[in-house]
Amino acid sequence: MKDMQAQVSRLFEERYGEGATLYASPGRINLIGEHTDYNGGFVFPGAVDKGIVAAIRPTRAEQCRVYALDMQEEATFGLSEEQKPQASWAHYIFGVCREVQKRGGQIGCFDAVFAGNVPLGAGMSSSAALESTFAFALNDLYGCGLDKFELARVGQSTEHNYCGVKCGIMDQFASVFGKQGCLMRLDCRSMEFAYFPFNPAAHGYRLLLVNSRVKHQLTGSPYNDRRLSCERAAKALGQEFLRGATMADLDGVREQISEEDYKRARYIIGEERRVLDVCEALERDDYETVGQRMYETHWGMSHDYEVSCEELDFLVEVAEACGVTGSRIMGGGFGGCTINLVKEDRYDSFVAKVQTEFEARYGIQPLVYDVVISDGARKL
């Protein structure tokens, strides 16, 4: 992060002059609890040491100027609804501005330069990191008085209203509330949360991501389609969300819903239980149970929720063959990373084997990242 801070600061001065303040927000991992957030269930994320850094300075101009260092592009836009910028990456920042305004925040225009080191397409939520950086910064610079939960909702509403993704709250929550050395169990219905100390190294394990470097662009909106399936199943159960439903409940309405909706709901009901199992297992340092639940989540996402892909299934199969304690797809799906819980003495052999076998099969070597649990949105 230090190099990125220096680079962003230097470029800001070159383009816009002095006087900027630096802010940062992290990407996230999610140990378990995938697609449960918009179903009112539990998630178990943590912030990581990769994220977005932005240099920002308020101005008296009538337009914001924002330079994306990684894309070497500048976007300009005003703060009214009809002034939405053309560049898709700028929608995240414009949306944050508008959502802060909707909540009574009296903000003005600004100049900004930002950069990130969250691997794009890896399921680590670079978009939430970007939203959280600017939400936190604007709230701080203009004294808007929004609490952390509202800052997370600003990011979520930005996705809904300006980016076309009906996401849950997990990604933005993790980016805002992250705490070094801790994972967070969030109840997405009540918004109650608790920190759980997470130190796998002390018990002989490492947590790492294996990035397949593939991202399948599917027609339509498969993420939103999954959400609609869950909503239909919940409605058949007479509930707003699937949260709290049992398999007996679901089987009772099986004839009222499609087979596809039944499978989607079956995965969600199982995943809610798996999150709680993992939390309980960590409290007794039972990492073997954690790993078992991770595998169950993966194959549920592959077979029932159908958001995996051939490459990710292959990565998990290699992990199983190498005796990795737990492995699963992480993120929304259709590409990106697996998250892996690996015993220290199997780490090197697993990394070597997964890189060699994946390249032999698909002609590209996957990237491996160690996971370091870090702090959330902050002023630097």
pLDDT at 222: 83
pLDDT at 224: 83
Q: Cite the active site residues.
A: 171
- Return d(Cα 106, Cα 58) in angstroms, integer: 12
Residue 58 lies inside a defined structural domain of this protein: yes
Instruction: Report residue 305 CA to chain centroid gap.
Output: 18
Residue 67 lies inside a defined structural domain of this protein: yes
171 and 41, same domain (yes or no): yes
Range of the domain at 124: 2-195
Q: pLDDT tens across 103-118, in order?
A: 999 999 999 999 999 8
pLDDT at 82: 96
Counted domains in the chain: 2
Residue 378 lies inside a defined structural domain of this protein: no
pLDDT at 216: 72
pLDDT at 166: 81
pLDDT at 40: 93
Among residues 151, 172, 195, the one where a domain terminates is 195
Q: Report residue 127 as tokens.
A: 């978009």
203 and 321, same domain (yes or no): yes
Q: Report residue 324 as tokens.
A: 């990795």
10 and 63, same domain (yes or no): yes
142 and 237, same domain (yes or no): no
Residue 167 lies inside a defined structural domain of this protein: yes
174 and 217, same domain (yes or no): no
Among residues 195, 214, 235, the one where a domain terminates is 195
29 and 174, same domain (yes or no): yes
Residue 375 lies inside a defined structural domain of this protein: no
Handedness of CA 339, 186, 245, 332 (dihedral sign): negative
- Return d(Cα 366, Cα 358) in angstroms, integer: 7
287 and 347, same domain (yes or no): yes
CATH of the domain at 277: 3.30.70.890
Which residue, among 205, 183, 156, 210, has the nearest Cα to 319 in the 3D structure?
Answer: 210
pLDDT at 218: 53
Among residues 195, 215, 242, the one where a domain terminates is 195
Phi, psi dihedrals of residue 284, rounded to the nearest 5°:
-110, 15
Q: Report residue 143 as tokens.
A: 């004294």
Each residue's pLDDT tens digit in the chain (380 positions)? 789 999 999 999 999 999 999 999 999 999 999 999 899 999 999 999 999 999 999 999 999 999 999 999 999 999 999 999 999 999 999 999 999 999 999 999 999 999 999 876 667 788 999 999 999 999 999 999 999 999 999 999 999 999 988 888 889 999 999 999 999 999 999 999 999 989 899 999 999 999 999 887 654 578 789 999 999 999 999 999 999 999 999 999 999 999 999 999 999 999 999 999 999 999 999 999 999 999 999 999 999 999 999 999 999 999 999 999 999 999 878 888 999 999 999 999 999 999 999 999 999 999 999 998 999 999 99
Residue 185 lies inside a defined structural domain of this protein: yes
CATH of the domain at 125: 3.30.230.10
Q: Find out whether 75 and 114 touch, Cβ atoms under 8 Å.
A: no
106 and 146, same domain (yes or no): yes
264 and 122, same domain (yes or no): no
Which residues in the chain belong to E strands, given as ranges?
Answer: 21-30, 42-43, 45-58, 64-68, 73-77, 110-116, 182-187, 193-197, 205-215, 326-330, 335-343, 367-370, 378-379
Q: pLDDT tens across 178-228, in order?
A: 999 999 999 999 999 999 989 899 999 999 999 999 887 654 578 789 999
Residue 91 lies inside a defined structural domain of this protein: yes
Handedness of CA 370, 373, 377, 379 (dihedral sign): negative
110 and 144, same domain (yes or no): yes
68 and 203, same domain (yes or no): no
Residue 364 lies inside a defined structural domain of this protein: yes
79 and 190, same domain (yes or no): yes
